[in-house]
Structure 1
Amino acid sequence: MRISVAADSRDGVAERVVAELRRRGHEVITHGALDANVLALSLRLTSDVVLDEILDAWFAGRPSDDPSDLANISHLEQI
Structure 2
Amino acid sequence: MLRGSNHYPQDIELTVEQSHPALRSSASAAFSVEVEGAEQLVVACEVERSYLRNLESDEVTLVSLLNGAWRSRCVANLS
TM-score > 0.5 by shorter chain = no
- The structure in which a higher percent of residues are strand is 2
TM-score, with structure 1 as normaliser: 0.29
Kindly name which structure, 1 or 2, has the bigger radius of gyration based on alpha carbons: 1
Per the normalisation by structure 2, the TM-score is 0.29
